[in-house]
Amino acid sequence: MRRPNPHLTEWEQALENARSFNTLLLQLRGFGIPIVITIMGGGVAFAGNIDVPSIPITYAHVILSLIAVSVFLVVFFIWRAMSKTPKTSLSRAEKREGCVLIAVPLFSIGLTFAFRRHASIDPAFMMANPAVIAIVLFGLLLLLGLYGIDRCYYYRLLIGAVLHAETLEKKLGFSLTTAISNETPGDHSKTLITTMYWLPTFGALLAVVSLAYLRVWTGNTQSSSGASLIKCLMNALR
């Protein structure tokens, strides 16, 4: 009887591992991101009807600065962790997306000080709805956690299994994994993954900035209740 080729058996196991990691990634993205968005939407709808103590607008500058620093640290640590493995390192597009997220709160602070300098330090102005801002920030933390597990852990395991399968195929004379990899370049797939998380994160950051500075931008100094927030939005649209 012919002895089974050990390389063939190992190649089959590598493909099975790659399929398992790919299934885990699809489940994480298919269930994790919608759940986080649902939590944010439900939390915002609930928090919008809660009256919380008014928070002066000066605290918004501090909160947005902390957000910018936090996003920078996340991007920096991910870049450092990925730089040791070129196949899974951050692409140029991913780095640009990270820079945009860092710039959103910083740009909003600079824009507010440039056009509403006196109002931005006036204690009469309050943040539009602190409870909603807190819920959105909580959702941002969940998104960043999901992204870290996806991009920095399971995706690296998937690429490791694929690369090992390609090495075995060279010994076996196969080209299945290589042909599939050639149709999905590494930078392309990495950028798509990051963009999938980047879009809701970018939208949440815009929501935080808008709620934080809405009263300053519209010149409204009323208390931050749900009804007054709607009135403030209506005045801004007129």
Q: What is the pLDDT, as a whole number, of residue 87?
A: 81
The residues near 24 (Cβ < 8 Å, ≥ 6 apart) are 154
Residue 129 has pLDDT above 80, yes or no: no
**By C-alpha distance, which of 132, 130, 151, 126 is closest to 41?**
132
Q: What is the pLDDT, as a whole number, of residue 236?
A: 43
Separation CA 121–CA 12 (nearest Å): 65
CB–CB of 157/65 below 8 Å? Answer: no
User: Residue 4 is encoded by which pair of tokens?
Assistant: 């089974």
Residue pLDDT, tens place only, 146-201: 998 998 889 988 888 888 888 888 888 777 777 777 777 767 888 888 999 999 89
Residue pLDDT, tens place only, 2-13: 566 777 888 888
- Find the helix or strand (DSSP H, E) in which 65 lies: helix 58-82
Torsion angle (degrees, nearest 10) of CA 6, 12, 16, 19: 140
Q: What is the pLDDT, as a whole number, of residue 224?
A: 46
Separation CA 223–CA 228 (nearest Å): 7
Residue 229 has pLDDT above 60, yes or no: no
Residue pLDDT, tens place only, 15-70: 888 888 889 898 888 888 888 888 887 777 776 666 667 788 888 888 889 999 98
| Confidence at 101, pLDDT banded by 50, 70, 90 | very high
| Confidence at 234, pLDDT banded by 50, 70, 90 | very low
Q: What is the pLDDT, as a whole number, of residue 4?
A: 63
| Confidence at 133, pLDDT banded by 50, 70, 90 | confident
Separation CA 50–CA 43 (nearest Å): 11
More confident residue, 120 or 191: 191
User: Is the four-CA dihedral 142, 143, 146, 151 of positive or negative sign?
Assistant: negative
